[in-house]
């Protein structure tokens, strides 16, 4: 196996945890520490693989900061008779999320040490979960994406259902059902897009961008795209053969389509002038309108946004601490990732039309989540609702579509100014990473207390600062990061989002800015009730021992990253910004064309009407 | 043609054409005779019945493998056997392979669970293999008589099998109930057969389709000629018989009771083999009556393409062909074979105006409506079940609903997109194949657990994961595969099914698609409940350890492992199903 080959390296990143699960399956019972250490070893090694991509001279493949397009793209046949490919790649949008996933998996595994029940099964399921999570962020075949998306469900169901709290069964099946309903809707949308896709609509450059064929850029004789295209057509590749057959067909009535699940190709098709997804299907709405709606529902269940968020408080509260960290830190991000990677680029016209709906959902979630968090007495439930509120920023930032942001360009031509839109999407992405750090940290802080005193009632704490000063200091830092205090990671994302919304809708901007006050309210109030105060008022006060080294090992990295990302945003933006800019710019160019077309259409309609009136 | 030549040709047809292609059934017949003789001949009586049955089933399985191996599946041409009673094509070959493979597995399972003991082993295996022959005939029926014969040959042994456990009241009750329902359904079906055959003057399905074209349903409907109603009634009556075998709503009442009363192994037998054969029969009937015969009514000796070019085209198709005459001529002096292929396609694409399109619409609407109701009802009724066999019975009802959907989609697509129609049938075959592993595995586990803990109540499975972890994990995998969750095998056929429905389009089939998708989510709850009971619920203090031998565990793994492997690599069987279905619509 040659690790400098993307297919080997990326596959190893995805499947190493699964391999670990397989290894663990053969461990004898009773060797629980050995099992935990092995599982930890696999998560650490996976994390090192993701970091290895940042190092130029580490061998293996590299991830280049500052490159906008898909990197390390590879494809291989997986199920050719269903047209499904094993297609993966990374860009600035997915790479930070992959690193976050691998990083949080290591921390969550360390946080799993107190688990004593069925340790072997726990570790196996945990590692399978990690494979599913990393796979979702790397898959670029819609079907592969869907399969990884579902792969996570089963381990998560059992992780909540077996190792959870008192209402674990209810919470587990609720989580499962909500997600399954969402993914079934997504499946219908996938079929709609698949059956209306047609690869033959794309030109050679677009096909190369979508990874349909590879262009050998390095080596002895660098190819041009056209050469590679011809070489591909001449090859005995099945897709190439059918591609030519269809292109050779001159009779339009008998012309068939070459369907694809390739997300990148679907994005290209969605942004074509006469997109195959723009035909009307039902109730006067186009295919992409329906597909967008179904996909959006599927993704906002995962985010989760009001009104589909009710699984989250139950699942987060009942799940064991490390699983809550994973849930809040990684799983929620998949919804946001799906929206930015799939919904917007594939269905731009529908997204344009429904931009206000998406933003509205985001703002409602922010407000609702914040008010609900204020009302909680259960510490963990409060943190869970804060996730609903914080993920609202993500949805809002992604939804911003700076309508009518026309600025007069040179020579009187109006150009579409996408700066605020870029800012919104960047803010959303930043918020995803920041929330991954802060929410995982918050859940861990709750878990540390719960492990000691076995209750989570906010009104029965107090005085923790005196009893556990180191822990309380770190906890307060993490909670402030969640609050969005300047200088900590939560601030950047929130500010970007709120600023960008101002140009889109002042009402939404005012409301979303006001939510910051509510957030400060519930977080400060919680800090006051738990950490401040004269003395501890709840049961098991004697158990409040200082933090162990293991717990420090989880908390310190989280605090460090919360500060680093708050003080020095380029550490993250260098990787994300080019890809985000590229996507927003293509979509902005698309919007320009779309608006111009609509305007032209409107003009002709008006002219027609005038002529009719004149007659 | 005088009598001696007639007899001569009959004999030569039977001996030279039909019998060589009838190998698996013959092997099964011989095994049955041997099993029954075993009691009389002392020497043979020394051989355990298991060995005879197993050897017979394996021989049948080997005989069922096409001579050129699985790669030759696509090349098999359609032939009629026994003067048109049966049809031999890739679908027949695939299904016979499926059924005989199932028979082998089932014989092994019966031995492992000990349901067939030394005393009545001969009877038991004879019944199982007899029913398998009936199913093979169902899968290759080309004549209403062989259709009825197949259904009865498969059903009658099943009645006895349902009551094979002697001295158990529930079991006898189940058998009686099954027999009474079965007899009623068979009677209605026979009446339907006689109505249709009487009106159309034949019972040979392709001939009947030809007559149906001449009958011109559309014109009759326009004239308000009510013989069409009689025809529809006859069709519905045949449908009753099929629905009974499929346990489709509203002819499903026997299913939960029989499954609960009969032993779990028999449940596996009825839910997998019997259902697959019934679906194959539905496909045969559906294609037979809605496709104008491309192959000529009388024995098609020539290859398909040549036959299509030379045979007497039915009126409407001729008309369509004539309108495209110029083009056709232009192509005709190109490659003859190719142009006739295209003629077929063109004739098909004009199906909207074809005389059989009312029949097609009728068939599609009935099948789709029944499928939608069956699937939803099965899933909802499974919610309240406390007995695992009853729960699985409702689950099989639901799956029968899912499996009927691609049949409707295929017939709807047959007119203008034959390739997609074959894909729909391939989806059905893939479903049946994967369902074999899932359901036989599930019922095998139920049977083994019954032996080990004397209970079939779901609540007694509580905490099984700590008593028998392997079995609990295998059952969990199978259950979630039944839900249709990737990356388990049960997902792929469901996906193919949804694809077929989407491609067929139309409001009813789109509705079916949405129903099928939502049903997936509905079914999760009850399957997950069983998994939850096994894996999450605490073990009751009263429970005893569960001891399963090495062989039963191996068998369970042999069922569960394909479910996991095919989930990642469906390509292992998917091409076979595609080849098996490829020739059905004249593509």
Q: Which helix (H) or strand (E) holds B575?
A: helix B574-582
Using an 8 Å Cβ cutoff, are A51 and A150 in contact?
Answer: no
Our CA angle for A113, A118, A123, nearest 5°, is 55
pLDDT for res A217: 63
Q: Long-range contacts: A96-99, Cβ < 8 Å, 24+?
A: A96/A429, A96/A433, A96/A572, A96/A575, A96/A576, A97/A137, A97/A330, A97/A333, A97/A337, A97/A432, A97/A433, A98/A13, A98/A50, A98/A134, A98/A137, A98/A138, A99/A47, A99/A50, A99/A51
Q: Give the model's confidence band at B587: pLDDT under 50 very low, under 70 low, under 90 confident, else very high.
A: low
Q: Report if residue B521 sits inside a domain.
A: yes
**Which tens digit of pLDDT belongs to each residue from B360-396?**
888 999 999 999 999 999 999 998 899 999 999 999 9
Tally of domains in chain B: 2
**Residues B85-111, mean pLDDT to the nearest whole number:** 91
**Which of the listed residues B319, B351, B383 is the one where a domain comes to its end?**
B351
- CA dist A69 and A208 (Å) reads 12
- What is the average pLDDT across A282-298? 87
Residue B353 has pLDDT above 80, yes or no: no
- Collapsing DSSP to helix, strand or coil, B143 comes out as strand
B329 CB-near residues (< 8 Å, 6+ apart): none
User: B154 pLDDT exceeds 80?
Assistant: yes
Residues 513-552 of B with CB under 8 A from A: 513-514, 517-518, 520-521, 524-525, 528, 532, 535-536
Same domain, B436 and B584: yes
Q: Kind and range of the H or E element at A85?
A: strand A84-90
List, as ranges, residues 208-247 from A with C-beta within 8 Å of B.
none
Per DSSP, helices labelled H in A61-211 are 94-111, 119-138, 142-151, 153-163, 168-196, 204-209
Q: Report whether pLDDT(A211) > 70.
A: yes
- Going by pLDDT thresholds of 50, 70 and 90, the confidence category of residue A440 is very high
Tell me the pLDDT band of B65, cut-offs 50, 70 and 90. Answer: confident
What 3-state class would DSSP assign to A79? strand
**B310 and B430 housed in the same domain:** no
Residue A429 vs residue A251, higher pLDDT? A429
Asked if the model's pLDDT at residue A66 lies above 60, the reply is yes
In 3-state terms, what secondary structure has residue A443? helix
Q: Mean pLDDT across chain A, nearest whole number?
A: 86
Res. B118: pLDDT tops 70: no
B487 touches chain A (CB under 8 A): yes
Q: For the packed helices B254-261 and B388-414, what is the interaxial angle rounded to 10 degrees? A: 140
What pLDDT was estimated at residue B317?
Answer: 37
Residues from chain A that touch B557, judged by Cβ atoms under 8 A, are none
A457 phi and psi angles, rounded to 5 deg: -75, 115
B537 and B465 within one domain: yes
- Smallest CA-to-CA distance from B487 within A95, A297, A131 is with A131
Q: Is B171 exposed, middle or buried (0-12, 13-18, 19+ CB in 10 A)?
A: buried
Q: Say yes or no: B332 and B465 in one domain.
A: no
Query: Which residues of chain A have a CB within 8 Å of the CB of B520?
Result: 180, 184
Tens digit of each residue's pLDDT (9 = 90 or more) over B11-42 = 887 887 788 888 889 999 999 998 888 888 88
Structure tokens of A102? 């691998």
Q: Domain ends where: B333, B351, B369?
A: B351
- Cross-strand partners of A406: A416
Span B200-219, pLDDT tens digits: 888 888 888 888 888 777 77
**Could you tell me if B378 and B468 lie in one domain?**
yes
Using DSSP, state whether B106 is helix, strand or coil.
Answer: helix
Q: Using one digit for the tens of pLDDT, what is the confidence trace for A547-602?
A: 889 999 999 999 999 999 999 988 888 888 888 888 888 888 888 888 777 778 77
Hunting for tokens 């259709």 — which residue is that?
Answer: B147
Peptide bond into A307 cis (omega under 30): yes
Percent above pLDDT 90 for chain B: 40
Q: Tell me the two tokens of residue A445.
A: 């802080």
Q: CA torsion, points A108, A109, A113, A119, in degrees to nearest 10?
A: 120
Residue B87 φ then ψ, to 5°: -120, 140
Q: Indicate whether B241 belongs to any domain.
A: no
The last residue of one of the domains, among B316, B331, B351, is: B351
Contact by Cβ (8 Å): B441, B105: no
Containing structural domain, residue B335: 304-351
pLDDT tens for each residue of B526-565: 999 999 998 888 888 776 777 788 899 999 999 999 999 9
Interface test mutation site (partner B, options A26, A119, A124, A169, max chain B beta carbons within 10 A):
A169
User: So what's the pLDDT on residue A82?
Assistant: 79
Q: Are residues B335 and B420 located together in one domain of the fold?
A: no
The rounded mean pLDDT for chain B is 83
Given an 8 Å threshold on Cβ–Cβ distance, is A150 in contact with B518? no
In a domain, B243, yes or no: no
How many CB atoms neighbour CB A467 within 10 A? 18
The predicted model gives A32-51 an average pLDDT of 91
Q: Is the dihedral of CA B263, B266, B272, B274 positive or negative?
A: negative
Residue B228 has pLDDT above 50, yes or no: yes
B182 located within any domain: no
Sort B12 into a burial class: Cβ within 10 Å, 0-12 / 13-18 / 19+.
exposed
Euclidean distance between CA atoms A541 and A472, whole angstroms: 15
Nearest residue to B411 (alpha-carbon basis) of B393, B428, B394: B428
| Confidence bin at A406 (pLDDT 50/70/90) | low
**Does B341 share its domain with B361?**
no
Six-digit token pair at A419? 């700066």
For residue A414, the cross-strand partners are A408
The answer to whether residue A254 scores a pLDDT higher than 50 is: yes
The answer to the question of residue B444 being in a domain is: yes
Helix (H) or strand (E) segment spanning residue A563: helix A549-567
pLDDT of residue A399: 84
Is residue B199 one of the residues assigned to a domain?
no
> Do residues A493 and A431 lie in contact, with contact meaning Cβ atoms separated by under 8 Å?
yes
- pLDDT at A614 exceeding the cut of 80: no
Say yes or no: B515 and B388 in one domain. Answer: yes
pLDDT value at position A218?
60
Is residue A360's pLDDT more than 70?
yes
Same domain, B500 and B376: yes
Q: A295: which 2 tokens? A: 């996909």
Q: Which residues of A touch B521 (CB under 8 A)?
A: 177, 180-181, 184
Q: In this predicted structure, what is the pLDDT of residue B50?
A: 86
Do B331 and B429 lie in one domain? The reply is no
Considering the domain architecture, whether residues B469 and B497 belong to the same structural domain is answered as yes
| B344 token code pair | 């077929």
Q: Is the pLDDT assigned to residue B72 strictly greater than 80?
A: no
Grouping H, G, I as helix, E, B as strand and the rest as coil, residue B380 is: helix
For residues A79 and B570, is the Cβ–Cβ distance under 8 A?
A: yes
Mutate to test the interface with B, among A142, A154, A297 (most CBs of B within 10 A): A154
For residue B234, give how far its alpha carbon lies from the nearest alpha carbon of chain A (Å).
Answer: 37
Is the same domain home to B467 and B566? yes
**pLDDT score of A65:** 78
* pLDDT one-digit tens code per residue, B291-312: 776 544 444 333 333 333 333 3
Closest CA to B312 of B296, B332, B335, B289: B296
A73-99 mean pLDDT: 86
Q: Is B578 on the interface with A (CB under 8 A)?
A: yes
Q: Is residue B477 part of a domain?
A: yes
Q: For residue B2, with 0-12 CB atoms within 10 Å meaning exposed, 13-18 middle and 19 or more buried, which class applies?
A: exposed
Where residue A227 falls among pLDDT bands split at 50, 70, 90? confident
B98 within domain boundaries: no
Q: Which residue of B has its CA nearest to A153?
A: B485
Q: What percent of chain B shows pLDDT beyond 70?
A: 88
């Amino acid at each position: 196996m040659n690790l400098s080959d993307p297919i080997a390296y990326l596959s190893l990143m995805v499947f190493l945890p699964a391999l670990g699960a397989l290894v663990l399956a053969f461990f004898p019972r009773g060797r629980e520490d050995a099992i935990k250490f092995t599982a930890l070893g696999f998560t650490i090694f996976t994390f090192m693989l993701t970091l290895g991509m940042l190092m130029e001279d580490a061998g293996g493949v590299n991830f280049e900061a500052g490159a906008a397009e898909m990197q390390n793209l590879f494809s291989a046949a997986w199920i050719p008779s269903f047209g499904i490919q094993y297609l993966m790649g990374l860009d600035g949008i997915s790479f930070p999320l992959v690193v976050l996933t691998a990083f949080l998996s290591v921390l969550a595994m360390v946080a799993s040490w107190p688990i004593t029940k069925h340790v072997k099964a726990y570790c196996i399921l945990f590692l399978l979960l990690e494979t599913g999570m990393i796979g979702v962020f790397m898959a670029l075949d819609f079907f592969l994406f869907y399969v990884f998306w579902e792969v996570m469900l089963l381990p998560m169901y059992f992780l909540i259902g077996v190792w959870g709290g008192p209402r674990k069964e209810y919470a587990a099946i609720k989580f499962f059902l909500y997600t399954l309903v969402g993914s079934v809707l997504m499946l219908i949308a996938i079929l709609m897009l698949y059956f209306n896709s047609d690869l033959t609509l794309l030109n050679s450059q677009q096909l190369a961008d979508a990874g349909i064929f590879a262009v050998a850029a390095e080596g002895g004789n660098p190819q041009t795209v056209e050469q590679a295209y011809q070489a591909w057509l001449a090859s005995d590749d099945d897709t190439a053969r059918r591609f030519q057959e269809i292109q050779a067909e001159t009779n339009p009535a008998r012309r068939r389509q070459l369907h694809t699940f390739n997300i990148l190709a679907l994005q290209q098709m969605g942004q074509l002038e006469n997109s195959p997804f723009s035909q009307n299907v039902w109730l006067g709405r186009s295919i992409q309108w329906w597909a967008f709606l179904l996909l959006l529902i599927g993704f906002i269940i995962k985010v989760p946004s009001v009104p589909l968020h009710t699984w989250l408080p139950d699942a987060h509260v009942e799940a064991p601490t490390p699983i809550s960290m994973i849930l809040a830190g990684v799983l929620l991000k998949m919804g946001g990732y799906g929206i930015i990677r799939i919904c917007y680029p594939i269905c731009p016209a529908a997204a344009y039309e429904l931009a206000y709906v998406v933003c509205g959902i985001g703002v409602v979630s922010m407000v609702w989540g914040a008010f609900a968090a204020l009302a909680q007495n259960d510490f963990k439930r409060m943190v869970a609702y804060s996730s609903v509120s914080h993920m609202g920023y993500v949805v809002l930032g992604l939804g911003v579509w700076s309508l009518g942001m026309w600025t007069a360009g040179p020579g009187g031509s109006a150009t579409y100014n996408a700066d605020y839109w870029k800012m919104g999407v960047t803010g959303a992405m930043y918020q995803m990473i920041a929330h991954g750090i802060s929410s995982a940290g918050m859940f861990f802080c709750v878990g540390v207390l719960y492990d000691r005193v076995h209750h989570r009632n906010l009104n029965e704490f107090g005085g923790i600062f005196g009893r556990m000063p180191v822990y309380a200091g770190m906890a307060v830092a993490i909670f402030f990061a969640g609050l969005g205090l300047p200088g900590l990671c939560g601030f950047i994302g929130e500010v970007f989002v709120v600023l960008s919304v101002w140009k889109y809708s002042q009402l939404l901007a005012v409301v979303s800015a006001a939510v910051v006050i509510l957030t400060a309210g519930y977080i400060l109030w919680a800090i006051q009730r738990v950490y401040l105060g004269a003395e501890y008022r709840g049961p098991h006060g004697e158990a409040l021992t200082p933090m162990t080294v293991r717990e420090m090992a989880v908390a310190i990295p989280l605090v460090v990253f919360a500060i680093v990302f708050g003080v020095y945003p380029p550490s993250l933006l260098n990787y994300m910004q080019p890809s985000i800019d590229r996507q927003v710019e293509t979509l902005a160019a698309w919007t320009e064309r779309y608006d111009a077309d609509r305007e032209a259409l409107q003009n002709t309609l008006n002219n027609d009407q005038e002529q009719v009136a004149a007659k | 043609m005088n009598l001696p030549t007639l007899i001569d040709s009959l004999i030569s047809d039977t001996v030279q054409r039909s019998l060589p292609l009838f190998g698996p059934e013959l092997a099964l017949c011989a095994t049955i005779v041997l099993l029954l003789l075993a009691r009389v001949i002392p020497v043979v009586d020394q051989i355990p019945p298991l060995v005879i049955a197993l050897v017979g089933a394996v021989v049948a399985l080997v005989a069922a493998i096409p001579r050129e191996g699985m790669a030759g599946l696509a090349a098999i041409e359609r032939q009629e056997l026994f003067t048109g009673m049966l049809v031999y094509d890739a679908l027949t070959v695939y299904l016979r392979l499926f059924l005989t493979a199932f028979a082998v597995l089932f014989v092994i399972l019966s031995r492992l669970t000990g349901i067939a003991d030394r005393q009545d082993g001969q009877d038991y295996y004879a019944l199982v293999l007899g029913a398998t022959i009936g199913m093979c005939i169902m899968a290759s029926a080309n004549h209403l008589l062989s259709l009825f014969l197949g259904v009865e040959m498969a059903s009658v042994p099943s009645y006895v099998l349902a009551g094979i456990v002697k001295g158990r009241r529930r079991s006898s009750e189940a058998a009686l109930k099954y027999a009474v329902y079965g007899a009623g359904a068979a009677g209605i079906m026979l009446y339907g057969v006689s109505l249709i055959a009487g009106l159309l003057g034949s019972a040979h399905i392709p001939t009947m389709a030809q007559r149906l074209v001449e009958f011109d349903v559309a014109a009759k409907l326009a004239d308000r000629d009510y013989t069409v109603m009689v025809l529809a009634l006859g069709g519905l009556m045949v449908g009753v018989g099929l629905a009974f075998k499929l346990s489709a709503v509203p002819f499903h009442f026997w299913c939960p009771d029989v499954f609960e009363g009969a032993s779990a192994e028999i449940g596996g037998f009825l839910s997998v083999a019997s259902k697959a054969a019934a679906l194959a029969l539905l496909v045969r009937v559906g294609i037979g009556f809605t496709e104008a015969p491309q192959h000529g009514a009388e024995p098609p000796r020539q290859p398909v393409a040549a036959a299509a070019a030379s045979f007497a085209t039915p009126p409407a198709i001729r008309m369509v062909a004539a309108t495209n005459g110029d083009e056709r001529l232009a192509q005709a002096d190109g490659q003859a074979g190719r142009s006739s292929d295209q003629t077929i396609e063109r004739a098909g694409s004009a199906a909207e105006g074809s005389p059989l399109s009312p029949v097609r619409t009728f068939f599609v609407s009935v099948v789709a409506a029944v499928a939608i109701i069956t699937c939803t009802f099965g899933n909802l009724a499974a919610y309240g079940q406390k007995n695992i066999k009853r729960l699985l019975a409702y689950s099989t009802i639901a799956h029968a609903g899912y499996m009927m959907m691609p049949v409707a989609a295929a017939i709807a697509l047959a007119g203008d997109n034959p390739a997609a129609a074959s894909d729909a049938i391939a989806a059905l075959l893939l479903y049946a194949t994967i369902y074999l592993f899932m359901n036989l595995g599930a019922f095998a586990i139920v049977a083994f657990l019954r032996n080990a803990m004397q209970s079939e109540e779901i609540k007694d499975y509580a905490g099984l994961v700590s008593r028998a972890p392997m079995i609990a994990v295998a059952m969990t995998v199978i259950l979630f595969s039944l839900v249709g969750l990737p990356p388990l095998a049960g997902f792929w056929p469901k996906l193919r099914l949804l694809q077929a429905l989407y491609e067929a389009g139309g409001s009813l089939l789109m509705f079916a698609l949405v129903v099928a998708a939502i049903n997936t989510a509905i079914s999760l709850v009850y399957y997950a409940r069983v998994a939850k009971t096994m894996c999450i619920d605490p073990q009751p203090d009263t429970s005893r350890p569960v001891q399963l031998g090495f062989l039963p565990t191996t068998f369970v793994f042999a069922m569960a492992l394909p479910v996991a492997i095919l989930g990642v690599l469906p390509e292992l069987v998917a091409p076979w199903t595609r080849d098996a279905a490829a020739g059905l619509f004249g593509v």
